[in-house]
Amino acid sequence: MVSVTPIAKRILNYVPFVLVLIDMRYEGVRCGNTADVENHLEMGKKLLAAGQLADALSHFHAAVDGDPKNYMAYYRRATVYFAMGKSKSALPDLSKVIELKPDFTAAVLQRGNLLLKQGKLDDAETDFKKVLKSHPNDKDETEAQSQLKKSDEIQRIVIQARAHFDRKEYSSAVVHLDVVIETCAWDVDSRDMRAECFIQLGEMGKAITDLKATSKLRSDNTQAFYKLSTIYYNLGDHETSLGSVRECLKLDPDHKQCFSHYKQVKKLSKQIQSAEELIQQQRYGDAVSKYETVMKTEPDVPSYILQAKERICHCLSKDQQGGLAIPVCSEVLESEPDNVNVLKDRAEAYLQEEQYEEAIKDFESAREHSEADRQIKEGLERAQRLLKQSQKRDYYKILGVKRTAQKKEIIKAYRKLAQKWHPDNFQDAEDKKKAEKKFIDIAQAKEVLTDPEMRSKFDQGEDPMDPESQQGGHHHQNFHGGHNHFQGFNPFGSGFNFKFSHN
**Domain ranges, ordered by start, for the chain:** 1-101, 103-219, 400-467+475-503
Q: What does DSSP assign to residue 500?
A: E
Give the C-alpha separation, 382 to 462, whole Å: 10
Fold identical between 1-101 and 103-219? yes
| Beta partners for residue 486, in sequence order | 500
Give the C-alpha separation, 395 to 418, whole Å: 14
The tens digit of pLDDT for each residue in 347-387 reads: 999 999 989 999 999 999 999 999 899 999 999 999 998 88
Residue 494 has pLDDT above 90, yes or no: no
Mean pLDDT, all residues of the chain: 86
| Contact present, 452 and 406 (Cβ < 8 Å) | no
pLDDT of amino acid 468: 65
The tens digit of pLDDT for each residue in 286-313 reads: 999 999 999 999 999 999 999 999 999 9
Q: What is the distance of C-alpha 153 from the center of its chain?
A: 40
Reference 411, options 451, 440, 466, 438; nearest CA is 451
Global confidence as pTM? 0.67
Collapsed DSSP state (helix, strand, coil) of residue 401: coil
User: Both ends of the chain: CA-CA distance in Å?
Assistant: 157
Q: Identify the residue with better confidence: 290 or 48.
A: 290
Collapsed DSSP state (helix, strand, coil) of residue 492: coil
| Contact present, 326 and 345 (Cβ < 8 Å) | no
The model's confidence at residue 218, banded by pLDDT at 50, 70 and 90, is confident
Look at strands 486-489 and 498-500 and give their pairing.
antiparallel
Residue 160 has pLDDT above 50, yes or no: yes
What is the architecture, at CATH level 2, of domain 103-219? Alpha Horseshoe (1.25)
Reference 231, options 202, 264, 268; nearest CA is 202
| Superfamily designation of domain 1-101 | Tetratricopeptide repeat domain (1.25.40.10)
The tens digit of pLDDT for each residue in 316-334 reads: 999 999 999 999 999 999 9
| Superfamily designation of domain 400-467+475-503 | DnaJ domain (1.10.287.110)
